[in-house]
């Protein structure tokens, strides 16, 4: 049997790492947790967090390019994306802290792992 409090903590840290930094630190923390734990739910949450962080960077780059190509006309799109990715992260945190039996799955992302 796995420790539920440890499962909550490690899963929440994996998803919340995006709040710490928008650099490689945000993806490094879930990668470290992925290799440091044997809990299958935590492993799935870390993989999902890594995929989400990569998607945030990809969509951010696409939105940045669209803003540049439209000479700034699509700046509200950046604000919308900011709200969406923070909202999805908060949703993931609520889920992993309330339901420790199932890993969280982000909607509408490309999964590499």
pLDDT in tens, 44-68: 999 999 999 999 999 999 999 999 9
Q: Is the pLDDT of residue 72 over 80?
A: yes
Residue 22: predicted pLDDT: 67
Q: Please report, rounded to a whole number, the percentage of residues in the chain having pLDDT higher than 90.
A: 89
Structure pTM? 0.92
Alpha carbons 85 and 81: distance in angstroms, whole number: 6
Token pair 């962080």 in the structure block, residue: 53
Give me the torsion for CA of 32, 34, 36, 40, rounded to 10°. 160
Token pair 């540049």 in the structure block, residue: 68
Q: Which helix (H) or strand (E) holds 77?
A: helix 75-98
As given in the structure block, the two tokens for residue 65 are 């390019």
């Amino acid at each position: 049997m796995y420790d539920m409090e440890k499962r909550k903590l490690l899963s929440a840290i994996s998803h919340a790492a995006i709040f710490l930094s928008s650099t490689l630190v945000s993806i490094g923390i879930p990668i470290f947790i992925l290799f440091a734990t044997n809990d299958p739910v935590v492993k799935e949450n870390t993989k999902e967090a890594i995929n989400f962080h990569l998607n945030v960077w990809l969509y951010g780059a696409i939105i940045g390019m669209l803003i540049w190509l439209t000479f700034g006309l699509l700046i509200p799109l950046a604000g919308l994306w900011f709200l969406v990715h923070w909202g999805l992260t908060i949703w993931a945190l609520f889920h992993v802290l309330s339901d420790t039996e199932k890993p969280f799955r982000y909607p509408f992302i490309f999964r590499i792992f």
